[in-house]
Amino acid sequence: MRVAVVGASGKMGCAVVRLASAEGIAVACAVGISDVGKDAGVLAGIGPIGVPIMDDIARIGELAGRPVLAMTAARLSAWRPSSFRSCGSQT
């Protein structure tokens, strides 16, 4: 299974990245509003995993591929509603 973590640069997002890694689940995409460009694994304290934090939620489908489970650990009010419509239209 591959997951996309929304809110990956925050406290809960880092916890999701650590848990996924510990369970052998690939983090395919990491979205956050801070620490853009930094490795999600490094932010989570587990070392590099080769997945940089990006700030464009609409690119989840493009970058993560399918199938993917999106784990949301973010305050959804921080994201533009238009981004969700764009992301949802990629299914």
What are the structural domain ranges in the chain? 2-88
The dihedrals phi and psi of 71, each to the nearest 5 degrees, come to -100, 120
Q: Check residue 46 and give its pLDDT.
A: 95
Q: Check residue 86 and give its pLDDT.
A: 36
Q: Check residue 1 and give its pLDDT.
A: 75
Q: Check residue 79 and give its pLDDT.
A: 46
Q: Check residue 64 and give its pLDDT.
A: 58
Which residue is associated with the tokens 């650990």?
73
- Indicate the pTM of the whole model: 0.73
Q: Check residue 2 and give its pLDDT.
A: 80
Positions of the chain with pLDDT lower than 50, given as ranges: 67, 76, 79-91
Q: Check residue 69 and give its pLDDT.
A: 63
Fold assignment, 2-88: Rossmann fold (3.40.50)
CA distance 91 to 26: 20
Q: Check residue 66 and give its pLDDT.
A: 60
